[in-house]
Structure 1
Amino acid sequence: MGKITMNNPLIWADVPDPSVIRVNSTYYMVSTSMHSMPGCPIMKSNNLRDWQLVNYVFETLEGNDAHNLKDGHHIYGKGSWAACLRYHNGVFYVCFSSNDMNQFYVYTTNNIEQGPWERHVIDGLYHDPSLLFDQGRVFVIHGNGRISITELTEDATARKRDGVNQLLFETESEGIGLRCEGCHAYKLNGYYYLFFIEWPSTGNRRRRQLCYRSEDLFGPYERKIILDDDMDYDNQGVAQGGIVETAEGEWYAILFQDHGAVGRVPVIVPLMWSNNWPLLGINGKVPKSFAAQLPHAEQTAIVSSDEFDYQENRLGLKWQWNHNPDNALWSFTARRGFLRLEAGHLAKSVEYARNTLTQRTEGPRCSAATLMDLRQMKPGDKAGLVALQHHFGTIGVEIADNREKWITMSRKGEDGLEEKVESIPFHGERIYLKMSFNFIDNTDAATFAYSEDGENWRQLGTILQLRYTLDHFMGCRIGLYNYATKQPGGIVDFAYFRYEKW
């Protein structure tokens, strides 16, 4: 086996709260998906560098108005948080909590790449959970600052009656803004290791990675800061995630780093053991590039173009809906070679438009373009491309009450609705739209353009300043949308989604 070069970040896109395991020679990773559906993306790799999407844990999580983005309700910044992935005795487990539902979910399958997944729901929140299988018993370790341990049944699908349910320990609070959370628990070398993220409010004031260890599951635990580094990027500490051993005996941590509006990017960090303590990085620093004894593999993009040439109504894995879709209102088969979106619900803005179909953005730069057929739009309809975040921006077509068409660039106004920045009349039946993104050195900017022939482009509106905020708690996404403000039933056919990254 030769060596490959690892470059950080592993993926310059939003893959937050990574949880990674190895099964034989294959690595699997799950990450947070919140309000995007299907949820809990499963990625696969044979070298920890080149990842491909292979499955999702669930199509939808719940079916209430908030998850359906209905009547002004939503789950932005909620849904599934900080999922934990584990493999034990031939079964894969994914568990997480949902703040909006006040519930803890455990999904199980024998086939992580194909499913099906069985769903189990436990009342109550188990914040940032980690499953631990230990000598025939199953525990979930969870919490923020107050770290608790709860015993589950042997199949990890319910609370164990009369099982352990207690405070394990409290983490440091003095000088700490965000106390320890994001637990990843392991039993190795005769020790129990609990990995956490912590955010001090003094000193350098950046996130850091901690480890607590004990020879007894119930303590007492020793504490050690094992990584405090920002990889020379904007004082954004690299932290929160788990560890994995390769088949060749090398150890790595997979953590994340906040990277502006593109989101939380996964970072791989070499790990060495010293006196049974894990030491992360090289001389305490996260390397931007290093050699690893792992096999070469073909790179597979997690964001890519789509010509919508499908024979059935089945999305590629790169796509996720903003909240639950209404499956009666989209189609690849109604008009072959096109994605058809029908405006079936009235919405006050694109942020509340159902059936907005999204992919991640990527750094350092990327762009997306589409061609829309407008002939079946109705008065009051709006359709186009959206830079989807709390402070969103759009370029699209609006149909006035007199059926006139207007090409409009909008952004979120102070009232939360769409504020028109520039709007010009349009008389054609088809329109080309494009958005371009720049994430270099926190530029975090999007520009918007249109064309009547697909070759000559004109910029419309202003540069949109992108911002990562806790309102959505997600990196900016590119979306295709069509929604009604007056009456349902309007249709837009999208001919393609053409994506570039550079």
Structure 2
Amino acid sequence: MAVLHSKDLVNWSMIGHVVPDLTSIGPEYNYDRMNRYGRGVWAGAIRFHKNKYWVYFFTPDEGLFMSTASDPAGPWEPLHQVWEVSGWDDCCPFWDDDGQGYLVATHFADNYNIHLIKLSEDGKELLHDSDRIIHQYKGSEANKLYKINGTYYFFHSEVRAQEGFEARVVMMLRAEHIYGPYEEKEIIHTHGKEIDREPNQGGLVQTVSGDWYFISHQGSGAHEGRPLHLLPVTWVDGWPIIGEDTDGDGVGEMVWGGRKPINGYPATVLSTYDDFDRADLAPYWEWNHQPRADKWSLTARPGYLRLHTCQPIDKDNFFTVCNVLSQRAFRTVHNEATAKIEIGSMADGQEAGLCHFAKTYCTIGVQQLNGTRVLKFNSSGTIVWGPKITGSALWLRSVWNIDGISRFEYSVDGVQFTSFGDAYQLGWGNYRGDRIGLYSYNCESEQGYIDVDQFCYEVAGAK
């Protein structure tokens, strides 16, 4: 679960992760099972209370978890399982003026009923005898709870009939008492994914100057996954209106541009260049599953990432390759990711290189067979073999633009690059979009390793 930081709500940097060990959620996340694609952390929430940062989230199969930290960059307290249950999601904690904590959450397995439950004083238990259903509608989720100027506001989204179609709509309830009765209002119109890309999950943020914004995601099913977006919020008659009320009906409309909320902070890019000279991995790197700790190292050869081979659970399934290290692939007008790897310690049967994956995968790498290393392209099982690689260093590159069509290149000197393999369409993949990363595996044994010298990801507009 990634934690990002911003000073202006526009430029963000990844600063850490809440869950350093995925097996603290459950054994299905480990490298020997790898069985939780799309069923990990669902729509958690972060809040500040009693000089600590608090994070709560559900997974759909294992239940409710929480952690706290004095610094959002970590370290975070060991993950605590609050409730072992299935079928719940989209929770948010809230502490009232008297210090009483609450959790609002959706029981999606029970007709999307939204529950409000008191928290224990330490926040580690639910007081189930206080459980109340406060709302229910088709698909109601994305819950947030606020108290603003003495009024309780319950933010959520739900699936409602629009002009000839159904769409996810952002709603707000308000009441003078936390248990209601609540009155209801739609706060931004939805005209379909092709027009406004359905802003829904997210929350309200107030800047120091007093301005309000809605920070959320959009999703169109393209390779960028769900990108972050920001919309202005104005208050009219005690209701927040997201976007701009262009027709005067009291409901906001999508806007596609605006001024930054706060000036004076530089543009940031979430990842650019890594020469692996840190004592730990930069926060923008994430393992595909809980990794095998004995199969990677930043200290075995300082200044390099060493990736030892692992044998996949299923030799014909790339998604069971252990210790695939990846980061998010972005959707800009030009993207170029280049890895320099040292391959002199590879073993027979080993394959290693650069990969893209979402629901499908594509790799450009080198495989050693009978002592000979050969360039190999693999697009979800369609393989193209290339020339023999005789040197100990190899540069691998993926280049794509806003349409997400990647083209691959390789070089044996880092200067002259040659196209190789077919074009590959990056994909959506369980909401998260395409990932680009590094891999090393061996279906015959656990012999061999590569050393990654550097990984450079250039994004259009980055300086």
- The normalised TM-score by structure 2 is 0.89
Identify the residue that residue 460 of structure 1 maps to in structure 2: 420
Aligned pair partner of 2:240 in 265, 274, 278: 278
Q: 1:65, 1:232 → 2: CA distance?
A: 36
Aligned pair partner of 2:389 in 426, 437, 450: 426
1:226 maps onto 2:187 in alignment: yes
Instruction: Give the unaligned 5+ runs of structure 1.
Output: 1-39, 174-178, 413-417
Q: 2:195, 2:300 → 1: CA distance?
A: 48
Identify the residue that residue 446 of structure 2 maps to in structure 1: 488
Identify the residue that residue 337 of structure 1 maps to in structure 2: 303
Identify the residue that residue 54 of structure 1 maps to in structure 2: 15
- The normalised TM-score by structure 1 is 0.83
Name the aligned partner's letter for residue 366 of structure 1: N
Query: How many Å apart are 1:197 and its aligned residue?
Result: 2.4
Query: How many Å apart are 1:230 and its aligned residue?
Result: 6.8
Q: Deviations over 1:2-47 (max 9, x none)?
A: xxxxxxxxxxxxxxxxxxxxxxxxxxxxxxxxxxxxxx22222222
Q: 1:74, 1:118 → 2: CA distance?
A: 22
- Residues 227-266 of structure 1 mapped to structure 2, 5 A cutoff: 227-229=188-190, 235-259=196-220, 260-266=222-228
Query: Given that residues 78 and 98 in structure 1 are in contact (C-alpha distance below 8 angstroms), is that contact kept between their aligned partners in structure 2?
Result: yes
1:377 maps onto 2:337 in alignment: no
- 3-state DSSP of counterpart to 1:474: coil
Q: 2:7, 2:286 → 1: CA distance?
A: 25
Aligned pair partner of 2:436 in 473, 478, 497: 478
Q: 2:27, 2:130 → 1: CA distance?
A: 36
1:327 maps onto 2:293 in alignment: yes
Query: How many Å apart are 1:264 and its aligned residue?
Result: 0.6
Q: 2:293, 2:218 → 1: CA distance?
A: 35
Q: 2:144, 2:125 → 1: CA distance?
A: 20
Query: Given that residues 196 and 254 in structure 2 are in contact (C-alpha distance below 8 angstroms), is that contact kept between their aligned partners in structure 1?
Result: no
Query: How many Å apart are 1:480 and its aligned residue?
Result: 0.6
Query: Given that residues 344 and 484 in structure 1 are in contact (C-alpha distance below 8 angstroms), is that contact kept between their aligned partners in structure 2?
Result: yes
Identify the residue that residue 132 of structure 2 maps to in structure 1: 166
- 3-state DSSP of counterpart to 1:375: coil
Distance verdict in 2 for CA 1:323–1:163, change over 3 Å: same
Q: 1:293, 1:119 → 2: CA distance?
A: 34
Aligned pair partner of 1:288 in 244, 256, 265: 256
Q: 1:159, 1:213 → 2: CA distance?
A: 24
- 3-state DSSP of counterpart to 1:66: helix
Q: 1:100, 1:379 → 2: CA distance?
A: 40
Q: 2:210, 2:12 → 1: CA distance?
A: 20
Distance verdict in 2 for CA 1:351–1:326, change over 3 Å: same
Instruction: Give the unaligned 5+ runs of structure 2.
Output: 246-251
Aligned pair partner of 1:152 in 119, 123, 137: 119
Q: Deviations over 1:120-167 (max 9, x none)?
A: 21222441001121233211111143111122102211122x641132
Q: 1:424, 1:68 → 2: CA distance?
A: 36
Q: 2:257, 2:74 → 1: CA distance?
A: 34
Distance verdict in 2 for CA 1:251–1:146, change over 3 Å: same
Query: Given that residues 370 and 434 in structure 1 are in contact (C-alpha distance below 8 angstroms), is that contact kept between their aligned partners in structure 2?
Result: yes
Name the aligned partner's letter for residue 157 of structure 2: I
1:301 maps onto 2:262 in alignment: no
Q: 2:27, 2:121 → 1: CA distance?
A: 34
Q: 1:344, 1:242 → 2: CA distance?
A: 41
Distance verdict in 2 for CA 1:52–1:99, change over 3 Å: same
* Higher normalized contact order (CA 8 Å, seq sep 6+, divided by chain length): 1
Q: 1:293, 1:305 → 2: CA distance?
A: 28
- 3-state DSSP of counterpart to 1:157: coil
Identify the residue that residue 91 of structure 1 maps to in structure 2: 52
- 3-state DSSP of counterpart to 1:328: helix
Query: Given that residues 248 and 293 in structure 1 are in contact (C-alpha distance below 8 angstroms), is that contact kept between their aligned partners in structure 2?
Result: no
Identify the residue that residue 318 of structure 1 maps to in structure 2: 284
Name the aligned partner's letter for residue 324 of structure 2: T
Aligned pair partner of 1:396 in 365, 379, 389: 365
Distance verdict in 2 for CA 1:436–1:95, change over 3 Å: same
Name the aligned partner's letter for residue 21 of structure 2: T
Identity, % of aligned pairs? 28
Query: How many Å apart are 1:240 and its aligned residue?
Result: 1.1
Q: State the aligned residue count.
A: 441
